[in-house]
Structure 1
Amino acid sequence: MITRRKFILNTGLATTLVMTLPSLAFTMDKKEIGLQLYTLRDELPKNVGLTFEKVAAAGFTTVETYGFSIKDQFWGVTPIELKKILDKNGLKAISGHYNLGSFLYDGNTSELIAAIEAAKVLKSEFLTIPWLDESFRRNIQDYKNIAARINEAAKMCAAAGLKIAYHNHDFEFQKHDGITGYEILLKETNKDLVYFELDLYWVVRSGNDPLKLFAANQGRFKLWHVKDMDKANQALNTEIGSGSIDFRTIFKEAKQSGMKHFFVEQENNYNPDAFESIKTSSGFISKKLI
């Protein structure tokens, strides 16, 4: 199993405040709150429509999909059907996690093409790569090969009106002859076509500092996963604001990061259940972070 989801200024006074407080301008423009749907992986297959109703009711306006396959589509729902469900609930699928089959390893484009078509139907902005199989990321050359494939995929996505992004876990921060896989991906991918979805939990879990990544690679992290770390057990998640990650400080540097969209994700340790957890996270973000 893959581990892995406007406020409109309309008065002269508000405009004046924004001009004098740039950070506030950014904060106000980020009223949308997204959810990585893997958070609700146990609920979606049971009732797709009802799950999305609850997502919208919890305060989310955007989502990031997962789990698409040529055979089963999205949990048995076609992209066309899913778009209708999203529209009904006032939700936008800004991004999606798509496994690209064997493309990253052997160049077979069949699943990549299917993923692009699905993302286009959903009118997504980003097609995001969620994972690299361990056998294909063992050394520097492996990462260089992956970066070259991502560049190829990025061109195909761009031709279809999409952007490609790469989502990290912690393994990318392991060093190979003094350099991390993540450094290779950042260096070897096309800065004009390839973006990154920074999973803040995995960055912190790996012992790294998101702020240092922002400073060294300004503007490249167009997407974030906002996932908190349990204070007692780092291997567990928790509701945003309940854990050990300092999101207030991180969000202050969102402009430097280049962040356009973020998605709450919680993979485990729900309190008392997944739906209540996402409501808690949404409430904290809307009151304390944006």
Structure 2
Amino acid sequence: MGASLGFAAAAAGAGPAQAWAESAHRRRIPRGGIGMHLYTMRDVLAQDFAGTLERLAEIGYATVGVSGRHGHGAADIRRMLDATGLRAVLEHIAYPTLTGSGLPQALEDLHTLGARRPVVPSLPGALHTPDGFREAARQFNRIGLASREAGLGPLLFHNHGTDHVVVDGVHLYDILVTETDPELVGFELDLYWAVKGGADPAAYFRRHPRRFPALHVKDMAADGGFADVGSGTLDFAAMFAHARVGGVRQWLVEHDTPADPFRTARNSYAYLAALRY
């Protein structure tokens, strides 16, 4: 099929010139923005941390989100990252650590890693009430201020499906969005869990500009389970069409239960590198 005919078909009946113009104006994810959230690779990292990072760099990944150190210190991980050309952009740190006496060391370790953003990966179950989320919002503002004063970026929060429930007429996740200071707190939106919880990622990007500097790009299989990015049911192109207004800078691949982590890494990178949105 000729190029103009191909574009015309892709544009569902539009003329070749219009289809070409629409395609030409579509965006690609910047290569420096395609990263791997290392929770995906936890089993192989436990066996060979340095070798796993090397293979991710060979695939084409530019950045990582750190989630578990597997017995390595922050300085050791930084050396391994530097050796591969990978860059850590954030680290998941437990809520009790960030709200307690471990905060200063956690922020210092971020500097060592070369990352800029601490991330709360989840909230304790006891806080899953409106009052609990309001307390978390207060803590997030405090941690975000400490992060800024340490020369780092805003605190981020990573969501799960249970964060998108309505309790006593209140949407829990929205408490965090509306009761935190945008200068101090942002969000690492997990697209799978947002959709699983009934939320619309694109709507969040539009309603709350620049609050979502990082994404967990995780796909949903037809049965509701996890899938390699691009092989499932989520319409990433439609979501990413609003990513710029949302402030997205990092698209971090994640799969919670990959059968073959490196195959997942290859498949997911290939999809994101080729995607136009």
If the length of structure 2 is used for normalisation, what is the TM-score? 0.87
Give the Å deviation of 1:32.
3.0
Secondary structure in 2 matching 1:93: strand
Residue number in structure 1 paired with 2:250: 261
Alpha-carbon contact 2:28-2:274 (below 8 Å) kept: no
Q: For residues 97 and 72 of structure 2, what CA distance do their matches in structure 1 show?
A: 23
Equivalent positions of 1:1-290 (< 5 A) are: 24=25, 27=28, 29=30, 31-67=32-68, 74-101=69-96, 103-104=98-99, 108=100, 110-137=101-128, 139-163=129-153, 164-231=155-222, 233-234=223-224, 236-270=225-259, 273-289=260-276
Query: Which is higher, the Rg of structure 1 or of structure 2?
Result: 2
Secondary structure in 1 matching 2:45: coil
Secondary structure in 1 matching 2:65: strand
Deviations 1:87-137 (A, max 9, x none): 110100011111142554xxx2x2222211111101112111101110122
Q: For residues 253 and 82 of structure 2, what CA distance do their matches in structure 1 show?
A: 20
Q: For residues 196 and 231 of structure 2, what CA distance do their matches in structure 1 show?
A: 16
Q: How many residues are paired up?
A: 255
Q: For residues 74 and 97 of structure 2, what CA distance do their matches in structure 1 show?
A: 22
Q: Which runs of 5+ in 1 are unaligned?
A: 1-19, 68-73
Q: For residues 189 and 219 of structure 2, what CA distance do their matches in structure 1 show?
A: 13
The structure that is helix-richer by fraction is: 2
Alpha-carbon contact 1:251-1:289 (below 8 Å) kept: no
Aligned-CA RMSD value: 1.9
Q: For residues 102 and 88 of structure 1, what CA distance do their matches in structure 2 show?
A: 29
**What stretches of structure 1 move > 6 A for 4+ residues in a row?**
none
If the length of structure 1 is used for normalisation, what is the TM-score? 0.83
Closer, same or farther in 2 for the Cα pair 1:24/1:125, shift >3 Å? Answer: farther
Percentage of matched positions with identical amino acids = 31
Residue number in structure 2 paired with 1:11: none
Q: Which runs of 5+ in 2 are unaligned?
A: 1-20
What letter corresponds to residue 270 of structure 2 in structure 1? Answer: G
